[in-house]
Structure formats: structure tokens, C-alpha cells
Amino acid sequence: MPLTERKVKVTIVGFDQALSSAITGALDLFALAGVSWQRIHGQPVEPLFDVSIAGLHGSPFSCTNQLSISPHCALEDVQHTDLLIVPTIGGDIAQVLKQNQRLLTYLQRHASQQTDIAGNCTGTFLLAAAGLLENRIATTHWGYADTFRRMFPGVLLQPEKMLTQQDNLFCAGGGMAWFDLSLLLIRRYCGHQVATDTAKSLVLDLTRPNQTVYASTRQRKFHQDPDILAVQTSLEEAIAAPLSLPALASRHNMTVRTLLRRFQKACGQTPLKYLQALRVEYVMAQLETRKLPLESLLHEVGYEDVSSFSRLFKRQTGMSPAQYRAKFTAGDVQK
């Protein structure tokens, strides 16, 4: 139920090596929620959120871009807030976690009070370190998904998603997903119309269902198994060829069972899923730079069935090939 009878109190946590835009951007978005629309249409201005930045001891903190931010209050003094937002970690994750052990206790305290808690991008590492995400669905930046899984195996990570919610815990994907997260939370407190009006007034996309469209298969090579790296190279070099697991395994002196086990361990997916991702990624790049019809591009990756590939493409990217082309086409495309 939207909370329209009073201002919603939002507290954004600040700490050294945070991403400043994830702090100031969210601050702006909540402060302008409904307000920009009201001003555009000459209506009385009625802010819906009471939003502030809180830091440990109320001391200034230095963001990863060297911007120093003076918080509005000390985190220790925040006894109640409707929403607590943890921004992106812009620096070394392990170092930030080590330096912010006290912050974890405040996250735990507010979680025990059933406060809504939201983590943006790598800020979700702090939520996980505080134990808030154990056995819960979460997401994080796609590029840090493997690191997250190693550090917090008990979290039900879904890195393909831009946003997740379970109970009163919210997570967002990439660094600039703070606006997806903020709009989701504005809708939670003030309803769909206010969120839509806010997005329109600030010229933001209201829905970005997943972050797979921004990811790359290159991240699947960050492992230490040279034999599987060779398998991946074979798949990349024969992207249009039909996949034969027995032939692939034989070429790399493995049994099919060993190939599947080691590939899953190294890459987190099967060879077929990896090949499908390679094909989708190739077509994405072609859609961005070439005007060829989709049917012609599919021949280059070994697909004949446009409908089947379109379903695969949408499942992986959250949009159809035509929608992707319209959104990401370069200004000067090749003929």
C-alpha cells in the first residue's frame, strides 16, 4: 500500500570508496519524486520523501572519484528510517568490507526492525556480509557475480536480473542501476503513477528487466582451467557449427561426462548454454552496427529458425532483436 499520508524517510549510507553517483543520484531522484512533474505542470510542490545521507560518526567520506561528501547525519543516530540504501562500492571490494565492519552491525539492527534495505550493484556485498541475504534471492553487478558466489555461496544469486526483491530486501545490478532501484522503491511507497511521472519528467526508462544485455561471455573465462579455456576457444571459432558433445570432448581428450563436469565448474553453465550465449552476443554486436535483416545474421551463427532464435534472444536479453536494434543501433551504421 503506497504511503501517501506522510513523507517517507529514506537514508542513504555513505562510506569511503563508494560510487558518488549512486549516492547523489538516488538523493536527487527521491527528492524530485513527484516534484519535477508538479513543477512542469504548474502544480503545488509537495515532496514525498525525506531523504538524507548518513555516514559513520557523521564524518565526511571520500568517494572513489575523490569527491568528499559531508553527510547530513551520523548513521549511529538514525534510530528509524523507512528505507536504508547501500550504494555501489566503487573501490576494492575486499578492502571496503574489511574497513566497514561497524556498518554491518547497523544493517543488522535495521533489518531486525523490518526496515526496507536496498543494495545497489556491489553494495549488495555489504548486505551479504551482514548476513541479510543468506538463503535469499539477490543480484549484483554481472561482472562480480563469480566473486560474489565464492564469497557468499548461501545467497540465491540471480546476476541476470536487474532487480530482485525478497521480503524487505532489495538488490540492483550494475553501477547505474540505482535509478532502476529508486524507481522501484518510489513505486512501492507512492504508487505506479508517481513512479511513471518521475521517470517521464527525468527522461528515464521505467523498466529494464535484466542486465544480461550488458554482460559479456568474456567473464566466463576468468577461471584457472586451461583445458576448458581451449574448449571455449573451439566453440568461439566454430560459432555456427552444430554442437556435438562427443566430438568436442574427443577433440580435447576428455569424456563427455568429464567435459560437462569441468565446464560447469569453470564457467557456471553447460557448453550448450555457453554456445547459445556466444551466438546471441554475436548477433547483438551485428544488430548494433549492420542493417542486414535478422534472417541473414542468423545464418552466420548457424540458426535457420527466426522464431526459435528470437525466443532465445529475448530470454537472454529481456528484449526482442528488433527492440535491441532500436535501442542500441550506432548513429552511423554500415550498409
Can you give the three-state secondary structure of the chain, one letter per residue?
A: CCCCCCCEEEEEEECCCECHHHHHHHHHHHHHCCHHHHHHCCCCCCCCEEEEEEEHHHCCEECCCCCEECCCEEHHHCCCCCEEEECCECCCHHHHHHHCHHHHHHHHHHHHCCCEEEEEHHHHHHHHHCCCCCCCEECCCHHHHHHHHHHCCCCEECCCECEEEECCEEEECCHHHHHHHHHHHHHHHHCHHHHHHHHHHCCCCCCCCECHHHCCHHHHHCCCCHHHHHHHHHHHHCCCCCCCHHHHHHHCCCCHHHHHHHHHHHHCCCHHHHHHHHHHHHHHHHHHHECCCHHHHHHCCCCCCHHHHHHHHHHHHCCCHHHHHHHHCCCCCEC
Q: Which class for 237: exposed (0-12), middle (13-18), buried (19 or more C-beta within 10 A)?
A: exposed
8 A C-beta contact, residue 160 and residue 212? yes
Q: CA-CA distances (angstroms) from residue 198 to 35, 176, 185, 188, 309? A: 8, 17, 12, 13, 35
The fold of 216-328 is: Arc Repressor Mutant, subunit A (1.10.10)
52 sits in the region (left: phi over 0; alpha: psi -120 to 50; else beta) called: beta
CA distance 303 to 331: 28
Q: Return the pLDDT at 209.
A: 61
190 sits in the region (left: phi over 0; alpha: psi -120 to 50; else beta) called: alpha
Q: Return the pLDDT at 328.
A: 73
pTM: 0.70
Q: Return the pLDDT at 216.
A: 62
CATH of domain 8-213: 3.40.50.880
Domain boundaries, the chain: 8-213, 216-328
Q: Return the pLDDT at 37.
A: 73
114 sits in the region (left: phi over 0; alpha: psi -120 to 50; else beta) called: left
**Contacts (Cβ under 8 Å, ≥6 apart) of 160:** 139, 142, 210, 211, 212, 215, 316
Q: Return the pLDDT at 193.
A: 83
Q: Return the pLDDT at 2.
A: 44
CA distance 96 to 206: 31
Beta-carbon count within 10 A of 47 CB: 15
Mean per-residue pLDDT pooled into runs of 10, the chain (335 residues): 68 97 94 81 84 96 96 96 97 96 96 96 97 96 91 93 92 87 90 83 70 64 86 92 95 96 90 92 87 91 92 87 80 42
